[in-house]
Structure 1
C-alpha cells in the first residue's frame, strides 16, 4: 500500500535526482503560502478592514493631527498584516532557479562520471544523461515563473488595498468635516 504511494516519488528521483524532490517541496511550500494569502485576503482581511472602518467611524475626532496619525497607524498595521509572508514568497521564488541549476550541475557530474567509468563515447547515453540533468532546471524555472505571478499579483493587491484604504479613510474625514457647522 505504501509502496504504491511512494512509487511516483521514486520515479521523480529517478528522472531528475534528489534536487527535483527539493524543488517539489519548495513548490508545495510556495503554493501553500500563496493559497494562504488568498484565503487570508478574502476572509480575515475583509473582516479586519470592516472593523477598521467601524472603529474609525465611531471616533468623534477625525480632523486633528492625532486622529490623522492614528488613521495612518491603523491602516499601515492592516496593510502590514496583508504583506506578512511576501518576503518569504520572494525568497522561495528566487530559490527555485538556483535549485534547478544545482540539480543540473549535479546531474551533469553524474553523467560525466558514468561516461568516464564506461570508457565508451556513447552519444545516446550522454544525450539521455543531459536530458535527465536539465529536468531540474526546467522544473525550477517553471515553479519560479508561477511563483512570480503569485508574488506580482499579491503586490498589486497590496498596493491597491493601501490606496483604497487611504482614499476611503480620507473620504470619511471629508464627510466629517463637511458635517461640522
Structure 2
C-alpha cells in the first residue's frame, strides 16, 4: 500500500502542481457523477412510484388544474433528475483547460532551463517537457471519462422524464 502512495506521489511530482489540481477536480467530478448514478438507480424509482401513486389517488385527471398538477409533478422530478448535471458538465470542460495550463507551466520551465544553461540539450529540458505533457494527458483523460458519463446521465434523465410522462398519460386516458 505504501508503494502505491509513493507511485502516486512520484507521478504528481513529475506532472507538477497543476496535476494535483486536475486530480482533485476529477475526484470531485466523479463523486458528483456517482451521486447522480446512485440517485438514478435507487432514489428516483421511489420518487417516480410516489408520483404515480399520488396521481392515481386523484379523482380528477382531465381538468386544467389536474394537468397543471401533472406538469408540476413531472417538472419537479425532472429537476431532481438533472440536478448537478450543469456543474458536472462545467467540471468536464475545465479538465482540458487545466491540462493546457499544465502544458504552459511545463513549457515555461523548459524555457527557464534553456535560459539558465544557454543550450537546448534534451536532458536539461526533459523534466519540463514531462511537466508539460502529463497534465495535458490527465486533463484529457478526465474530460473524456466525464463526457461519457455526462452523456449517459443526460440521456437517462431525458428517458426517465419521458417514462414518467407516459406513466401519467396512461392514467389520464384511464381516468377520462
> TM-score w.r.t. structure 1 length?
0.91
Cα pair 2:14 2:130 within 8 Å, conserved: no
> Structure 2 regions of 5+ residues with no counterpart?
none
Structure 1 residue 165: Cα displacement: 1.1
Gaps of 5+ in 1: none
For the 8 Å contact 1:12–1:21, the answer to whether it is kept is no
For 2:141, the equivalent position in structure 1 comes to 142
**Distance in 1 between residues matched to 2:12 and 2:157, nearest whole Å:** 38
Take 2:155 and 2:4, find their aligned partners in 1: how far apart are those partners? 39
- Structure 2 counterparts to residues 154-165 of structure 1, below 5 A: 154-165=153-164
* Cα separation, 2, equivalents of 1:129 and 1:69: 61
Q: Number of matched residues?
A: 176
RMSD (Å), alpha carbons: 1.7
Q: CA separation in 2, counterparts of 1:6 and 1:165? A: 46
Which whole-Å deviations, capped at 9, do the CAs of 1:107-139 have from their partners, x for residues lacking one?
110111012112232124335532331111111
Tell me which residue corresponds to 1:16: 15
8 Å CA contact 2:110–2:125 kept in 1: the answer is yes
Q: Deviations 1:46-78 (Å, cap 9, x if unpaired)? A: 111100011000011111010011000011101
TM-score, structure 2 length as denominator?
Answer: 0.93
Q: Residues 27-46 of structure 1 correspond to what in structure 2 (within 5 A)?
A: 27-46=26-45
Distance in 2, matches of 1:137 and 1:8, equals 19
Offset at 1:9?
A: 4.3
Runs of 4+ residues deviating >2 angstroms: 3-10, 123-129
Matches within 5 A, 1:166-177: 166-177=165-176
Q: Per the alignment, in what secondary structure is the counterpart of residue 84 of structure 1? A: coil
Q: Secondary structure at the match of 2:46?
A: helix
